[in-house]
Amino acid sequence: MSVSWRIAVVADTHDRLSPFVLESIQEADEIWHLGDVCERVSWEKICALGRPSLVVRGNQDSEASWPMSLELERLGHRFHLLHIPPRSAPAGVQHLLHGHTHVPRDQEIETTRFLNPGSAGLANKGAPRSFAWLELKRGERPFFRLMGVKTD
């Protein structure tokens, strides 16, 4: 792994994965999808980019083999990925990434940072379609940057 790492964070595409999002994330060091991909063919479009890609299962996903959550460590930062946000984070989680609400989030609750890239497929509650870049450097706070999705 290099000194810095750029992760494209996508959620709630609901089979509406736009060419804009695919083009935008193709240079990521890694791609994380936080659920509600829906049909496997949509996930295969992301995998076809040839980047290391991880997915967690959302409440609208048909693929039973996808995990409900993932525990990851990148450049000294610990991440917990899941679709539906819990009321509180599991013990020891530094960064909890979730989807489900379709509304972007970057919020500190006690010792955990809750991050949601919003929905790349369906706008909701006044929030436009979005995804995020998670930029990591060892020893520095992860930088979470929202990106609007251009309509096709």
Q: What is the pLDDT of residues 18-27, one digit of tens each?
A: 999 999 999 9
**60-99: pLDDT as tens digits:** 998 999 999 999 999 999 999 999 999 999 998 999 999 9
**27-69: pLDDT as tens digits:** 999 999 999 999 999 999 999 999 999 999 999 998 999 999 9
Neighbour tally for 56: CB within 10 Å: 25
**114-147: pLDDT as tens digits:** 999 999 998 888 889 999 999 999 999 999 999 9
CA end-to-end span of the chain: 34
8 Å CB contact between 123 and 14: no
1 — pLDDT class (breaks 50, 70, 90): very low
Neighbour tally for 48: CB within 10 Å: 11
What residue spans of 10-151 are helical by DSSP H?
Answer: 19-25, 40-47
Instruction: Walk me through the domains of the chain, giving residue ranges and CATH numbers.
Output: 4-148 (3.60.21.10)
Q: Which amino acid is at 90?
A: P
Residue in the block written with tokens 């999705």: 149
Q: What is the pLDDT of residue 152?
A: 57
Whole-angstrom Cα Rg for the chain: 14
